[in-house]
């Protein structure tokens, strides 16, 4: 299958990530892999944390050995103090070689995450690119901490539903109903849909992945599909599985593909501590260096997202210590298109704060079913034209987001976003503008008439209003209802 995206290797996300590994020697990789395993164990093992807090190094060393960590626990204490016991930190990060090595690794991976987010902005369609930029800006204020939200441009599901059924599922995945088998007809359909996505989204498709409210291993042909994705896009899309032990050979095959310089990191979602032990028994530290372990079990330090089932059903009895956020949150990370191949369904989505109205933590702006790749293309182009205008027109209706409260402070105006509690200071000159925007939806034409009546400069006001639009302070145009 011929690639539809010009292959400039140094522009590929995967090449950027592989360079992080290439800059380290084999010995450094081995040490980093063991440090990562130690950090994962600290996050997942209550016994290890307890023994380290009590300075019981004999027990701590026993736990580390049970997880096949080949470094002496005493040499890892600075990392423990730095990440988990800050009050007792005794050394500067540069004083310990392991600590310095780990901090540099973390810094590189955080830069990669930013690079990943930037790559989503490489769509050649200006309307889509600016729309996605507005969603990024909106999420910064609506959600607060958005470092982990990459705003990928597409997610493609290769199954219908999920067989795992996690009680806390933030996407409230429905029960497994079947998968998109790699038949001649389906593989042709897959190639045509990938062609449409690359034509419409261009290099930004590097950020796409092939799951959502699904488990990749539920589709026995998953590897065939991601190989096709590689042939078209030039990299293996990121994979997250909550069933790494279900079929060890399948997992090893996936990891073998991702042991490639044109591959993204993988993630394992682990549902109990025994799974962590088993994964560490089967896979070496080096095998898992580029695999993020999301430890979703009681006793781990992982916070669950209060969205989906956890938001709708509350905390399960006996699991109060799981650490779900008190307010809604989200794991949604797509500002773009959610495509389900077996259902022939496509949605335009973007993250939002999960609440009773939007319990899954993302908005579905529009959706449709498609019979073929041509109808998928029509939906993408139609949604861009309908929902992604670059500039406000006189007939558009505008209103300040309903989660933004206006407060008068001594030196101006403050916008307070609830429940994220993000605060934005504004000049007093925005006062009359904000007063109009905080009321029911009003057309840009009427808004401008009111501002001009108040003696405001036309070009200054249009610029201010456009800036509010670009920063995501205004409601989505499709959501504004006028009485």
Q: 320 with 328: CB under 8 angstroms?
A: no
> Domains of the chain by range and CATH?
16-106 (no CATH), 120-387 (3.20.20), 397-479 (3.90.930.60)
Euclidean distance between CA atoms 227 and 258, whole angstroms: 11
Show the CA angle centred on residue 213, arms to residues 211 and 219, nearest 5°. 50
pLDDT in tens, the chain (483 residues): 434 333 444 447 888 888 899 999 999 999 999 999 999 999 999 999 999 999 999 999 999 999 999 999 999 999 999 888 766 655 555 678 999 999 999 999 999 999 999 999 999 999 999 999 999 999 999 998 788 899 999 999 999 999 999 999 999 999 999 999 999 999 999 999 999 999 999 999 999 999 999 999 999 999 999 999 999 999 999 999 999 999 999 999 999 988 877 778 899 999 999 999 999 999 999 999 999 999 999 999 988 888 999 888 865 443 333 344 456 789 999 999 999 999 999 999 999 999 888 999 999 999 999 999 999 999 999 999 999 999 999 999 999 999 999 999 998 999 999 889 999 999 999 999 999 999 888 999 999 999 999 999 999 999 999 999 999 999 987 654 443
Collapsing DSSP states into helix, strand and coil, what is residue 1? coil
**For the purposes of burial, counting CB atoms within 10 Å of the CB of 197, is it exposed (0-12), middle (13-18) or buried (19 or more)?**
buried
**End-to-end C-alpha distance for the chain, whole angstroms:** 53
Q: 154 with 334: CB under 8 angstroms?
A: yes
Q: What's the predicted TM-score (pTM) here? A: 0.91
111 contacts: CB under 8 Å, gap ≥ 6: none
Euclidean distance between CA atoms 324 and 306, whole angstroms: 6
Q: What are phi and psi of 162, to 5 degrees?
A: -140, 140
Euclidean distance between CA atoms 483 and 473, whole angstroms: 21
Euclidean distance between CA atoms 45 and 64, whole angstroms: 10
Q: What are phi and psi of 197, to 5 degrees?
A: -65, -40
Task: Please state whether the peptide bond connecting residue 419 to the residue before it is cis, i.e. omega within 30 degrees of 0.
Answer: yes
């Amino acid at each position: 299958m011929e690639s539809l995206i010009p292959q400039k290797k140094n522009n590929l996300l995967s090449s950027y990530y592989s360079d992080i590994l290439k800059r380290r020697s084999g010995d450094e990789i081995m040490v980093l892999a063991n440090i990562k395993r130690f950090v994962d164990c600290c996050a997942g093992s209550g016994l290890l944390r307890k023994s380290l807090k009590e300075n019981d190094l004999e027990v701590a060393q026993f736990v580390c050995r049970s997880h096949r960590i080949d470094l002496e626990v005493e040499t890892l204490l600075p990392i423990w103090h730095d990440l988990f016991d800050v009050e007792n930190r005794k050394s500067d990060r540069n004083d310990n070689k392991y600590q310095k090595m780990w901090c540099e690794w973390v810094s590189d991976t955080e830069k990669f995450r930013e690079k990943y987010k930037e790559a989503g902005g490489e769509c050649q369609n200006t309307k889509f690119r600016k729309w996605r930029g507005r969603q990024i800006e909106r999420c910064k204020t609506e959600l607060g901490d958005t470092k982990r939200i990459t705003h990928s441009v597409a997610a493609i599901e290769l199954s219908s539903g999920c067989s795992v059924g996690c009680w806390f599922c933030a996407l409230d995945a429905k029960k497994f109903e079947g998968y998109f088998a790699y038949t001649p007809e389906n593989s042709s359909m897959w190639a045509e849909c990938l062609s449409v996505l690359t034509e419409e989204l261009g290099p930004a498709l590097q950020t796409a992945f092939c799951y959502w409210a699904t488990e990749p291993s539920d589709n026995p042909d998953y590897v065939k599909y991601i190989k096709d994705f590689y042939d078209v896009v030039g990299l293996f899309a990121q994979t997250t599985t909550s069933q790494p032990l279900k079929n060890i050979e399948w997992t090893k095959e996936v990891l073998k593909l991702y042991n490639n310089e044109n591959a993204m990191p993988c993630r394992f979602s682990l549902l109990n501590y025994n799974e962590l032990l088993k994964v560490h028994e089967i896979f070496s530290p080096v095998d898992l260096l580029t695999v993020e372990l999301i430890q979703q079990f009681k006793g781990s330090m992982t916070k669950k997202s209060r969205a989906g089932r956890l938001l709708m059903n509350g905390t399960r009895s006996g699991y109060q210590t799981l650490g779900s956020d008190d307010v809604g949150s989200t794991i949604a990370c797509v500002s773009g298109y959610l495509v389900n191949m077996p259902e022939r369904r496509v949605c335009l989505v973007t993250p939002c704060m999960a609440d009773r109205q939007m319990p899954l933590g993302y908005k579905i702006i529009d959706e449709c079913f498609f019979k073929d790749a041509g109808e998928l293309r029509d939906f993408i182009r139609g949604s861009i034209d309908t929902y992604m205008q670059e500039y406000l027109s006189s007939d558009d209706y505008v209103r300040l987001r309903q989660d933004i409260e206006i407060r008068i402070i001594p030196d101006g105006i403050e916008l307070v976003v609830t429940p994220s509690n993000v605060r934005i200071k504004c000049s007093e000159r925005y006062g009359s503008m904000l007063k109009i925007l905080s009321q029911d939806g009003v057309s840009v034409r009427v808004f401008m008439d009111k501002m001009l009546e108040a003696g405001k400069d036309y070009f200054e006001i249009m610029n201010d209003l456009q800036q509010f639009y670009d920063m995501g302070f205004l409601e989505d145009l499709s959501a504004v209802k006028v009485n």
